[in-house]
Amino acid sequence: MIDLKNKLILVTGSGTGVGSGIATTFAKCGADIVVHYNSSKNEAEKTKEIITSLGRRCKLIKSNLKIVEECRNTVDEAATFLGGLDALVNNAGLTTPKDINDIDEDHFNDIFFLNFRSYFFCAQQAIKHLTKRGEKLSEFKKKYNWAGGSIVNISSVHGKLGYPGHSVYASTKGAINSFTKQLSVELISKHIRVNAIAPGTIEVPSYFEKDPSYNREFGNSMVPWGRVGLPEEVGYLAAYLVSDLSEFMTGEIIHIDGGLTSAMNLNTDKKN
């Protein structure tokens, strides 16, 4: 396990799915966690139970990150409970596929406000807490070489690949990728790393809820590697990015997709 002992971390959208996988993996590595959620209260409570059963501190925060003030309050409340902030994982997101001709202003804003705007303002609010944490650690441990704070943005393969009905969703992921690069440059002087993880087909409960006909066999058939990914696998990669081991890495978008973005989607049975 990667050592995250005594790390103080906020993970947005971590009541269920990929976010829950990230939060629980962090706890297994020794971190104290704030689990943010909006509508998944029951799932968030289960996530908290797992974290506390591992002997780690955990707090649930319910908020609507489509509202800028709630982004700021969530980060501040998390830092207050934890006693500081070593890392922020921006994971909250919404996927609602729709044909481009059917998209209205409300639909567009609904997805963009949560999927991208919340990342921006949560990151903005976290900067001061991440900086203070470094100053506090350096003061507490004289000559301590602080590895730096960390912001991890959860993107998607949709930021690179096209798929029907995802014009708005994919645009938010492209924005996240660009934001990650830009923010990493702006925060180098503050010794804060900014990276993004772009998952491919990661099997989460919503797969089964949205499509009752979905099954693991079908999911596996969609991935070149031959199987779907799991939330905890994204968690392991995120754990590396918030750990001291990744001090030299910033401004990167890392795909974890079983080869999806590398494979050409060609019909090899087609005759020339």
Sheet holding 8-11, edge to edge: 58-62, 32-37, 8-11, 87-90, 149-154, 192-199, 253-256
Q: Which two tokens stand for residue 25?
A: 């993996």
Query: Can you tell me the distance from the alpha carbon of 139 to that of 39, in angstroms, rounded to the nearest whole number?
Result: 40
Amino acid letter, 62: K
Return the closest-CA partner of residue 31 out of 82, 92, 91, 90: 82
169, 207, 214, 240: the active-site residue: 169
DSSP 202: B
Query: Can you tell me the distance from the alpha carbon of 111 to that of 137, in angstroms, rounded to the nearest whole number?
Result: 38
DSSP 48: H
Q: Within 10 A of 4 (CB to CB), how many other CB atoms are there?
A: 25
37 is catalytic: no
Return the closest-CA partner of residue 31 out of 39, 23, 41: 23
Q: Mind telling me the catalytic residues?
A: 169
